[in-house]
A and B are shown apart, each in its own frame.
Chain A
Amino acid sequence: MRLNKRCSNVLFLVLLGVFSCTEPFTLVTESFEDVIVIEATITDEFKRQEIRVSRTFLLESDTQVFEQNASVRIETNTGEVYNFSETLNGVYVSDIAFEARENVLYKLLISTSDGREYASNEELLPPKAEIENLYGELVNLNGEIGIQVLVDSNEDLGGANFFRYEYEETYKIVAPHFSFFDALYIGEDIVLVPRDPSKQTCYSTNYSANIILTSVSKLAENRVSRFPIRFISANSAIVRERYSILVKQYVQSVNANTFYKILKELNSDEEGVFIDNQPGFIQGNIFSKQSQNEKVFGFFDVSSVSSKRVYFDYSNFDMNLPPYFFDCDFLELDSAMEEPVNERLILIGSFRDGYKYVSGSDGGVFTIVNQECGDCTTFSSNIKPVFWID
């Protein structure tokens, strides 16, 4: 229900569209506030649970600041205490694996190395709801054709009301101009050597970056149905070969939902040029024991989770083969030509620049291509994920 914020979209008329403008500028921290940031979601999965503790950092900086040597633990009203130990990058992992259980109150306690103590409110595990269907559909989204990944929950939500989604997508990449040989320049000769065949097929994985939320509280049906999770443009190379998406559905409390909803709104671009939402500090459920006015950012979320994976590619839909990730730039160079242009030298230089062999042999004409088209490991990984099913 918000207005879109994009220069080109605010065209009221051609004139106005030209006049109103949105332009980026460089962010500079005018006055820095150092605040502790706690990201803690424990779930009903039996595993070593993770909690991230970091601090705010300068707007112009790219280096995240982690809270080191903090003591992190979760206590329950049933007397259990789960201690967490620091691993890398501000991630604290529980010493033992455990799962969140129903009707138990959980509380997060953190004390930092400088002696400050933080405690969360007590939280309960919300009811569990399964994902029933996860599927893709070819749609036209505001003029753009593509595959929309949608989710349906099961019918019996058991009182679950607020949902947050995360996804993890993995796709197969096949280098389109793979050759079993690499050309090497040895001594004065260009020689062909066998290329590792595993450099033809790779797998890349992306994680959802946006906060995806929905609720059934305003719906007529008491279930999530046809909820859009991820849109893949018809021109996207990720569905060329085989694509897989794992969707995790977290059921969360009303307070957690409010927290994530505000966080999403304050950092999204779904606003109009003319509408400017009031931003501010988002108060979570974690507070400082020493000073009520100290800002503590973060929410201790206890949630039930369920997940589902689906595989597809472009051929499952009524669409054409999408283009590859990169444009393939072929060069044909005669290794024997020295005049008027020394193509042999260009050829050798191109190999050095990473161009990959396609065809030809020394003394003749070589066809070469930019490396991404010949070898997928140049931009992806050829390690096949353990879950992958072809």
Chain B
Amino acid sequence: MKKILVAVSLFLFTQIIVCQNNKRVTIDFNSISRIEALIKLESSIKYQFYFQEDWFDDTLISGSFKNIGIENIINKILEGTSINYLVLKDRIILTNNVAISNELPKNFFKDSTQTVEELTNNKYIAPVLQKEFVVAKKRAKKSLVTIGKENKNSSQKYFEISGYIKDSKSGKPIDNLVIYIKDKNINTVTNKLGYFFLKVPAGYNIVETSSLSYGKNEKEVIVYGNGTLNFSLEEQLEQLEEVLIESDKDDNIRKAVVGITKINVEGIKTIPLVLGERDVLKVATTMPGITTAGEGALGYSVRGGKVDQNLILFDGAAIYNPSHFFGVFSAINPFATGSVDIYKGSIPAEYGGRLSSVIDISTKEANMEKFSGEGNIGPVTGNLLVETPIVKDKMSVLAGGRATYSDWVLKAISEESIKNSKANFYDAVVKYNYKINEKNNLQATAYYSNDEFSITSDSIYNYSNRIASIKWDHKFDDKNRLITQLATSQYKFNIIYDGIFNRDFDFGYSINETQLKLIAKYLYSKKHKFSYGLSSKLYSVKPGDIIPLGSESIIERKSVDKERGLESALFISDLFEVNDKLLLDIGFRYSFYAALGESTQNVYDPTAPKSTESIIETNFYKKNEVVKTYGGPEVRFSARYFLTPNISIKGGYNKTIQYSHLLSTNTTASPVDSWKLSDLNIEPQRAEQFSLGLYKNFDDDMHEVSIEGYYKKMKNLLDFKIGAELLLNQNIETELLQGEGKAYGVEVLLKKKKGRLNGWLGYSYSRSFVKLDSEFLTNQVNQGSYFAANQDRPHDIDLVSNYKLTKRYSFSLNFNYQSGRPITYPVGKYVYNGKEQVLYSDRNKFRIPDYYRLDLGVNIEGNHKNVKLAHSFWNISVYNVLGRNNPYSVFFVNENGQIKAYKSSIFSIPIPTITYNFKF
């Protein structure tokens, strides 16, 4: 290594720069680096070269020179670099970027404090001087980078910098990374390959990159000319490991969409959860606006909506019941999940069919490079996921499975009542990725989940989800893309009753849907980005058939007519960037639904309540004959406006229509609730939502604060008369009450995304009301006035936090508080049929006690040795540390003629769990 050239003041040399050297040499270079070339030259001419090794890259050069002047040779060697040189007798001093001037700039002594911008505004473009360099050097904590070779004759004010940004570990390019010049309104983002291009003023600049996962990085540069500036960024792993965060770090203030929650799946592993089951959807419920009815409740209520109003997509296919064992566990394999986006405010126009939200779950892309896997062993389940390339960098497959091993535990117990009960579940997912070429991408997913449980020895319940989807992404050119997606899903359940009397039966229900969707994306210009397409979905429902079991059974074989419906939609949206501050997302969807035959439908006398007595006529429809059509425009509009670079305000209006409905007479959903399509007598549900929010990021986007408000109006919500019989009921409309709803609320979220202590604190105040009114007394609830809906839980506070003690140890703490859900409570009792009975209040007049829970966890990473079989991770957690007995339901039972009140809770004591996770 050569002596390091110290950046001494070049003025010293100005006197002697005249010495030209015309020495001639003969020399050959054959695929050697520039440094080697210089050394070779040095040894042949016996001159001393001064340079810094790291100015040079590894480019190899070749050349053959015969009796050529050394300056020409040096020029040739340095060609394509930003290095200048100066020959001083037998010493050759190389300088990076700086051309050594042999005269002082004209205004050198006038004003030495001039800024770069002022300089560039002068007519005479002064060379960037060492003085400025030194000043900058003093300011900078990090090293100063020089870009470009100064051209003595240039008077350019701006130069072009391009570069490549990669991940320092994986070496992969980082796309979509924001790069900007500090304090100058100049910015860009990297393209798919990690390249960027910026026009920057000459002179001193601070170039910054900013992203969620890589944090903020800055480089101070002196720009002498066109050049390259590469970044190699280190991923800020601690942040990804511990906390789920909304993706790109300033998305929350930048994007137009209002009311979106993103879950970083990788980040949830340290959050303590019950029985060690990592659960992306349960983490979603710690975000404001998303709740469940309790630990053992199915489904999610988003912004005061009902549980059937969420479109849960798994790689584009609807999943009807993503839970195991009554919602205690989610059926989504956490290892296979790549991302979860929840749209609770403005829903993109491409989605439709459900009122409240879209929960879009995508599985991750299978590893294209090497065989890898991940798994865990908890007290209830074992889970394993493996990924492998089939053709490296082109085709890969991922397969994951999870199953309970609880049955053997149950069987090991001698207690008779436990022996008779059983429960098990499993789910499996397979994903296939194929990068056909630059323009075509194919992916296919298959998923199956199954639950079986039996609580009494005479009945077995079973339910399953089956999903398959295939997606082809075709790029026509840089501006046009088409995504074609075919998805099918099925949900079914079965009840087998095998008692001792002659009433054994097998009851089955299933719903199938198949959807074809075409989405085209057209990047018309920087200002307009269009997305348009169409989708069509065919439903087929078998509402129930009952089969007698055994020859003794006197149960009649019966099946309710199959239902079919076609739900189609056209949609278009434009992401319109009006100016730097205002961004509009204008979406329009027209959905159309047709209930199809073959079918039998009753027409009821409108002057009487619907009942078997008020049927005027019964219509029969042939196969594929249209029974009834519904439809309507659905406007999806949202806008963002930057008040300051860090504060934005967003607003949205969203309209949705839902043509399929969950039938339930329970206050909380159950796996044996069935879905029904709109028909002659059941109108689609409709909703409109207005939302408005204010978002602010500060401390380099490390902290995020947002406040969002919404108001929602709903129509034709489904409810039922007390004690309605829904299974095997051919005339469900006689039990049905359709009413109005309204919901409103405010959601506040405070997030700390980096640092040793990170996490978030969310609060929401939300209300949800229903009105079931009718001119007929029997169809009124609470005298036809508004009452609190089952999912109305005004206050909800969530704290999720993680503290990293060392690289290996971290601690987590969760706290959750929720107002109790409304219930209908006795307001007196009476004697009837010789027994005490209770008289119930108006619906939902009371509330069960408030819910609160504290969870603690310790996470221990395996050691960080490089060479080992698998990377391991232990999670020790205690769920419900306070042992709070949170009542889940309250009910009243007549025992020996006396009314007894009971409350049941699911996890009423602290539950410790140890889970072992491994990755290879």
The interface of chain A, by Cβ under 8 A from chain B, is: 1, 3-5, 7-27, 29-35, 37, 39, 54-59, 64, 139-143, 148, 150, 207-211, 218-221, 225-228, 258, 261-263, 265-269, 271-283, 287, 292-293, 295, 297-298
Contacts and interface: CB of A to CB of B under 8 A. Distances in A.
Given A5-B904, A267-B838, A267-B899, 14 more contacts: A10-B455, A11-B418, A15-B379, A21-B905, A29-B826, A58-B829, A59-B829, A209-B835, A262-B723, A274-B327, A274-B670, A277-B665, A278-B722, A281-B840
Contact of B889 (A64, A210, A276): A276
B899 A23 contact: no
A40 to B, nearest CB: 11
Given A24-B902, A218-B556, A297-B839, A30 B456 contact: no
Contacts of A220: 548, 554-557
B294 to A, nearest CB: 9
A14 B830 contact: no
Contact of A19 (B327, B423, B831, B911): B911
Nearest to B889: A276
Given A4-B455, A4-B456, A33-B828, A20 B905 contact: yes
A9 B417 contact: yes
A89 to B, nearest CB: 10
**9 interchain residue pairs of minimum CB distance:** A262-B723, A56-B828, A220-B556, A13-B406, A22-B904, A274-B326, A280-B722, A33-B827, A37-B830
Contacts of A32: 827-828
A14 B893 contact: no
B416 interface: yes
Interface string B879-920: 000000100110111111101111111111101000000000
Given A59-B828, A142-B458, A278-B665, A15 B275 contact: yes
Interface string B815-831: 00000000011111111
Contact of A1 (B326, B495, B833, B908): B495
B778 interface: yes
A59 B899 contact: yes
A5 B722 CA distance: 20
Q: Chain B CB within 10 Å — which of A15, A277, A279 has the most?
A: A279
A271 B410 contact: no
Contact of B497 (A1, A10, A12, A21): A1
B828 A57 contact: yes
Contacts of B459: 1
Contacts, number: 253
A37 B830 CA distance: 7
Contacts of A8: 417-418
Contacts of B89: none
A299 to B, nearest CB: 9
Contacts of B379: 15
Contact of A17 (B418, B502, B556, B901): B418
Contacts of A209: 834-835, 894, 896-897
A39 B833 contact: yes
Query: Which of B778, B846, B907 counts the most chain A CB atoms within 10 A?
Result: B907
B372 interface: no
B14 interface: no
A141 B458 CA distance: 9
A252 to B, nearest CB: 13
Contacts of B895: 269
A57 B829 contact: yes
B646 interface: no
A269 to B, nearest CB: 4
B378 to A, nearest CB: 11
Contacts of A211: 833
Contact of B825 (A30, A141, A228): A30
Interface string B314-346: 000000000001111000000000000000000
Contacts of A20: 296, 904-908
A167 to B, nearest CB: 12
Contacts of B888: 273
Nearest to A139: B500
Contact of B902 (A23, A148, A218, A295): A23
Contacts of A35: 828, 830, 839
A298 B832 contact: yes
A31 B777 CA distance: 24
A221 B552 CA distance: 12
B380 interface: yes
B554 A221 contact: yes
A28 to B, nearest CB: 9
Contacts of A266: 722-723, 837-838, 840
Contacts of B592: none
A207 B891 CA distance: 25
B459 to A, nearest CB: 8
B889 A142 contact: no
5 contacts: A56-B839, A143-B416, A148-B500, A226-B554, A272-B455
B852 interface: no
Interface in B404-447: 404, 406, 409-410, 413, 416-418, 420-421, 423
Given A278-B666, A283-B777, A13 B409 contact: yes
A267 B670 contact: no
B901 A37 contact: no
Candidate in A5, A19, A58 with the most chain B CB atoms within 10 angstroms = A19
Contact of B723 (A24, A31, A208, A265): A265
B782 to A, nearest CB: 9
A282 B722 contact: yes
Nearest to A207: B834
A258 B668 contact: no
A19 B423 CA distance: 16
A64 B839 contact: no
B364 interface: no
A112 to B, nearest CB: 15
Nearest to B556: A220
Contacts of B502: 225-226
Given A25-B902, A218-B728, A275-B668, A13 B894 contact: no
A279 B840 contact: yes
B556 A25 contact: no
Nearest to A214: B503
A135 to B, nearest CB: 13
Contacts of A9: 417, 421, 455-456
B554 A273 contact: no
A19 B841 contact: no
B67 interface: no
A197 B457 CA distance: 48
A24 B900 contact: yes
Contacts of B843: 278, 280
A286 to B, nearest CB: 12
A219 B556 contact: yes
Contacts of B588: none
B781 interface: yes
Contact of A271 (B275, B824, B891): B891
Contacts of A267: 835, 837-838, 892-894, 899
Contacts of A56: 827-830, 839
A124 B908 CA distance: 52
B727 interface: yes
B783 interface: yes
